Amino acid sequence: MTKLQIKNLNKSFDGIKILNNVNFFIDDGEIVSLLGESGCGKSTTLKIIAGLIESDSGDIILDECSILSIQAEKRKTVIVFQNHLLFPHLNTEDNIGFGLKMAGIKKSIKKNKVAEIISLLKLQRLEKRYPKELSGGQRQRVALGRALAIEPTVLLLDEPFSSLDIRLREEMRELVLDIQKKLRITTILVTHDKEEALMMSDKIAVMINGEIAQFDTPENIYEKPVSPSVADFFGEKNYIEGSVNNGIFECKFGSFQVELPSEKNGEMMIKPEKIELLCETEDYGMSNVMNGVVKKKRYLGDKVHYIVEVEGKEFKVISSEHMNFNIGEKVRLRIDFSKGIFYSMSNRC
Amino acid sequence: MIKPSVCFAEMYRIKVLIWTRYLFHRGVWGRFMKKNVIFNIVIYLAVFLILLPLTVLILWGFSKRWPWPYVLPTEYSLRGVAYFLTGTGNSIKILLYSIGLSFVVTVITLVISVPAARALGLYEFKGKGFFKLFVLLPLIISPVAVGIGIQVFFIKIGLANTFLGVVVVHLIPCLPYGIRILTNVFEVLGESMEFQARTLGASKTQTFFYVTLPLISPGLISAAGLVFIVSFSQYFLTFIVGGGNVITLSMVMFPFIQSGDRMIASCYSIVFIVATLILLIVIEKRVKAYYTVENHFYI
């Protein structure tokens, strides 16, 4: 059941169009990531949903009712910001209980709820501390607790983990995911980190230049990105120019069998992890094998990134095999072109 | 024949040289020349330059005779104190009245300044730059120049020679300070805290009282202190608009300063300074006690 629907949001600041017909929806209890580069309008979208900024046009529908006319404090859509914004003059308990106090909840009920949140987020023994006495991770947990305490209808997270170091970030992601699944809170997570988006969301809305380029499950978006821009979001990809005729992809490296409709001119996108590197010495006798030379190598522990040059074109290859190729070594690349995605020249946004 | 003075000078020079090299080797020279020492010297000098006149003032308050070459007064007397406490001046009453007047002025100034500063600090609107300068106008144009004209107007509307009239007129020199200080405070604070509070369900009023006010309280304290002093020290404006009906401590003090009765003038001055200090401390303690944590503004 659709909980929240964002329809045709438009917003301009000082004549510059920030949001251009933004459309997506979230089902009850789901978590959707709004993925995009910094400054592309993601935070603006969140603020419009929360009611802090007004959109120029469009609608926001919560539970089948438009909430545009409802004031921010009555919408029950809480934002957790990147810089936690804890109230410095209140201690942990009071920060978490702030929303409840504003709503006029009885003290006894408030106390219980605050205690519940504190144990959920493992903040015991920190109740009386002030924000400046807490570490970064603790502050972020308090900010999260403060948002959860009022049992919001929609939880809006604006890059909440960016200011944390990697270990903490992974812990917090797991924590948020667990809590979100347990409490079934509809959540929108704004991020510029592709891993975070892929790992945490039920659906991803990729925002490029103020528009939603693709809105789908993580698997679909990763396997079948709708355009090169979306594809590039998830890592550098390889593009080979050519055309498709009657199921055959023709390019300067040869002709390969593919199952794609005919297209005049375009690019074939091949993911780096789908390219197999083989030793030069063995004789494979297969048709879709090319010869190349390793130009660059980056060792990442569980993977190795290579740049391999084939007839003047550089291919990025990610290999998890234990084969170790050195710079300058001659290798063979096996590409399964049927796994590639073909973009026509007109589809270049 | 070597002159003794030259000999001494040489010896002295050699001594200094030897000592300097000694210090150098002990690493003391470097430490001596560090910033800390110079900084300390400057601080002590500044404090001394403030305390010295104060000490002189206090001495004047109690000195009957203090002729020129003497460093301290030759005769002391409590005439000034006696006059202040019992004299025809009703000084204690006037003191309390002045404090009350300035207090009222401070409160009204802050009540006006906070929304004005919030608008200037947080919103963007046409003519904002103009308003920011406009607010500072009373600091450029002497209130005295305006005071006489205002008194004429007040006579017409019946505010002349009244407490209320003087309060209103004190607002003129006080508001620029209040608005200026609080505008800066709001600019630094920003809107994000208020945004956060509102998404958590706080109405605009609740946000103001539970979030904004605590966060600007250090600025409020500074502004309150400064505004109080400005109002408390007003002489001419009170004189013109008060017209003799409204008597503040500054007004009572002035004739003594003019006519040269140093002892009484100094006693009044001491009372002035002490009253201001006590009030500042009281304001600061009260507000801080209510909002606990110090430096909570600086996250």
> Would you call A123 an interface residue with chain B, using a CB distance cutoff of 8 Å?
no
Q: Could you tell me which of B283, B290, B174 has the C-alpha nearest to residue B222?
A: B283
Which residues, other chains included, contact B174 with Cβ-Cβ below 8 Å and sequence gap of 6+? B105, B106, B109, B227, B230, B231
Query: Please, which pLDDT band fits residue B114 given cuts at 50, 70 and 90?
Result: very high
Q: Which residue has the higher pLDDT, B28 or A107?
A: A107
Helix runs in chain A, H state only: 42-50, 92-96, 98-102, 107-120, 136-149, 166-183, 194-200, 218-223, 228-233
CA distance A251 to A267: 9
Per-residue confidence at B32, pLDDT binned at 50, 70, 90? low
Looking at the structure, do residues B96 and B22 belong to the same domain, yes or no?
Answer: no
**Residue A205: closest CA among A18, A30, A11:** A30
Whether residue B193 and residue A85 make contact (CB cut-off 8 A), yes or no, is: yes
Q: Is residue B220 part of a domain?
A: yes
A2-232 carries CATH number 3.40.50.300: yes
Q: How far is B198 from chain A (nearest CA, A)?
A: 5
Q: Residue B86 has which token pair? A: 């019992």
CA atoms in the 13 A half-sphere facing the CB of A344: 9
Cα A90 from Cα A95, distance rounded (Å):
6
Cα distances (angstroms) measured from residue B148 to each of A57, A123, B98, B239, B243: 56, 65, 21, 10, 11
A98 closest CB neighbour out of B200, B203, B292: B200
Q: Which of B58, B79, B100 is the last residue of a domain?
A: B79
Same domain, B98 and B171: yes
Same domain, B144 and B241: yes
Looking up tokens 């409490």 gives: A183
Residue B192 has pLDDT above 80, yes or no: yes
Same domain, B109 and B183: yes
Q: Does the distance separating the beta carbons of A73 and B199 come in below 8 Å?
A: yes
Residue pair A122/A134 in contact (Cβ under 8 Å)? The answer is no
Residues B108, B14, single domain; the answer is no
The answer to whether residue B153 sits within a structural domain is yes
| pLDDT score of B20 | 64
Partners of A60 in beta bridges: A6
Q: Output A95 or B293, whichever has higher pLDDT.
A: A95
Q: Which of B18, B53, B79 is the last residue of a domain?
A: B79
Residue B100 belongs to what domain range? Answer: 81-291
Residue of A77, A83, A87 lying closest to B199 (CB–CB) = A77
Q: Could you tell me if A48 lies within 8 Å of chain B, comparing CB atoms?
A: no
In terms of domains, do B104 and B64 share one?
no
Is the Cβ of A13 closer than 8 Å to some Cβ of chain B?
Answer: no
Q: CA angle A7-A11-A17, nearest 5°? A: 120
Q: Which pairs with CB-CB distance under 8 Å and at least 24 residues apart come from B62-68?
A: B62/B263, B63/B263, B64/B263
The minimal CB distance from A102 to the residues B200, B214, B291 is found for B200
Instruction: Report the chain B residue with the minimal C-alpha distance to residue A86.
Output: B193
Using DSSP, state whether A24 is helix, strand or coil: strand
Buried/exposed B63-102: b ≥16 CB within 10 Å, e otherwise: beebeeeeeeeeeeeebbbebbeeeebebeebbebbbebb
User: Tokens for B260?
Assistant: 């040269």
Q: Domain ends where: B56, B79, B102?
A: B79
A129: nearest CA in chain B? B293
Scanning the structure block, which residue is given the tokens 């529908």?
A: A61
Report the distance separating Cα B3 and Cα B12, nearest Å.
14
Chain B: closest CA distance from residue A67 (Å): 14
| Inter-chain touch A131–B299, beta carbons under 8 Å | yes
Residue A53: DSSP 8-state? S
Q: Please tell me whether residues B129 and B204 are part of one structural domain.
A: yes
The secondary structure of A58-114 as a DSSP string is EEEEETTEE-TTS-GGGS-EEEE-TT----TTS-HHHHHTHHHHHTT--HHHHHHHH
Q: In which band, very low, low, confident or very high, does the pLDDT at B299 lie, cut at 50, 70 and 90?
A: very low
For residue B292, what is the nearest residue in chain A, using CA coordinates? A89
Paired sense of beta strands A275-279 and A263-270, if any: unpaired
Average pLDDT of chain B? 82
**Across-strand partners of A263?**
A244
Please tell me the predicted confidence (pLDDT) of residue A143: 92
Among B195, B199, B210, most A C-beta atoms within 10 A, so best to mutate, is B199
Give me the pLDDT at residue B294, please: 47
Residue A12 pLDDT: 87
Average pLDDT over residues B215-239: 88
Residue B71 shares a structural domain with residue B111: no
Residue B16: per-residue pLDDT: 67
Residues B58 and B68 in one domain: yes
- Note the pTM of the prediction, 2 decimals: 0.75
Task: Note down pLDDT in tens along chain A; length 349 residues.
Answer: 678 888 888 888 888 888 888 888 888 889 999 998 877 788 888 888 888 888 888 888 888 888 888 888 888 889 998 888 899 888 899 999 998 998 888 899 999 999 999 988 888 888 888 888 888 888 988 999 999 998 888 999 998 888 888 888 888 888 889 988 888 889 999 988 888 889 889 999 998 888 888 999 999 999 888 888 888 888 888 888 888 887 788 888 778 877 777 777 888 888 888 888 887 766 666 666 788 888 888 888 888 888 888 888 888 888 887 777 888 888 888 888 877 888 887 655 4
Domain co-membership, B261 together with B132:
yes
Task: Report yes or no on B299 lying in a domain.
Answer: no
Distance of CA A138 to the CA centre of its chain: 24
Same domain, B121 and B68: no
Give the minimum alpha-carbon distance from B34 to chain A in angstroms, rounded to a whole number. Answer: 33
In this structure, are residues A150 and A117 in contact, taking their beta carbons and an 8 Å threshold? Answer: no
Cβ atoms B91, B253 nearer than 8 A = no
Comparing A56-60, A313-317, B21-25, B273-277, the range with the smallest average pLDDT is B21-25
Contact yes or no for B196 and A132 at CB 8 A: no
Q: What is the rounded CA–CA span in Å between residue B165 and residue B151?
A: 9
Tell me the sheet residues that pair with A65: A62
The pLDDT of residue B186: 92
Instruction: For residue A344, report the phi and psi dihedrals to the nearest 5 degrees.
Output: -75, 160
d(CA A206, CA A232): 11
Does residue B296 form part of some domain? no
The domain made up of A236-344 is a member of CATH 2.40.110.10: no
Q: Are residues B96 and B190 in the same domain?
A: yes
Confidence (pLDDT) at A282: 65
Phi-psi region of A159 (alpha: psi -120 to 50; beta: other; left: phi over 0): left
Q: Three-class SS of residue A275?
A: strand
> B250 near B66, Cβ under 8 Å?
no
- State residue B37's pLDDT score: 83
- Which of B196, B215, B220, B290 has the highest number of chain A CBs within 10 A, making it the mutation to test binding with A? B196
For chain B, how many structural domains are there in total?
A: 2
| Least confident interval from A278-282, B193-197, B271-275 | A278-282
CATH number for position B228: 1.10.3720.10
SS3 category, A27: strand
Domain positions in chain A are 2-232, 236-344
Question: How many other C-beta atoms lie within 10 A of the C-beta of residue B152?
Answer: 10
Give the closest-approach CA distance of A101 to chain B in angstroms. 9
Given a contact cutoff of 8 angstroms between Cβ atoms, the answer to whether A205 and A33 are in contact is: yes
For the sheet with A263-270, list strands across it.
A254-257, A248-251, A238-245, A263-270, A341-344
